[in-house]
């Protein structure tokens, strides 16, 4: 029985070493994935990533209201505040939180990704692709 616990302990140490290696390059791998898709995110704060500048040219073809915009209520001339998609990477827990504003319902939308649930490619295809297509490159 002592031998079995010794094996378990050594496997845990191996797993810990692998996870440590993954965590050190976790941010870089996610940024590289989006660069391959054509989106250049930059580090804005310690764990936050976004586009280099928030621009106002995210306009739908059929609608006058820009994408990723929040309309200030009660103001003249339809003043908008823009927030393009951004994300927060928590390397230690290997979680990524994506956020963007939906212009249609005027609220922040969030989506979370963890590698245990699905691959980043699957997550992008299922939850982010439609939103990210609205971004003009």
Tokens of 60: 């739908």
Tell me 125's DSSP state. I
Domain chopping of the chain, boundaries: 26-132
Tokens of 89: 């990477």
Q: Note whether 103 and 96 are within 8 A (CB).
A: no
Q: Per-residue pLDDT for the chain (137 aa), expressed as one digit of tens each?
A: 888 888 899 999 999 898 888 888 888 888 899 889 888 888 877 778 776 655 545 544 445 555 666 555 555 565 656 666 788 888 778 889 888 776 656 677 888 999 888 999 999 999 888 777 766 54
Picking from 47, 63, 38, the residue whose alpha carbon sits closest to that of residue 135 is 38
Alpha helices (H) along the chain: 2-36, 120-123, 129-132
CA gap 32, 18 in Å, rounded: 20
């Amino acid at each position: 029985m002592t031998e079995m616990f010794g094996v378990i302990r050594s496997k845990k140490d191996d797993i810990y070493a692998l996870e440590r290696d993954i965590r050190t390059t976790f941010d870089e791998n996610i940024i590289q994935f989006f660069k391959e898709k054509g989106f250049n995110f930059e580090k804005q704060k310690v764990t936050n990533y976004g586009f280099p500048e928030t621009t106002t040219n995210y306009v739908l073809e059929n609608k006058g209201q820009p994408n990723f915009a929040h309309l200030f209520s009660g103001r003249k001339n339809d003043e908008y505040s823009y927030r393009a998609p951004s994300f927060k990477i928590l390397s230690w827990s290997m979680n990524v939180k994506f956020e963007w504003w939906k212009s249609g319902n005027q609220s922040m939308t969030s989506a979370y990704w963890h590698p245990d649930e699905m691959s980043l490619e699957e997550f992008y295809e299922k939850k982010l692709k439609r939103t990210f297509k609205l971004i003009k490159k």
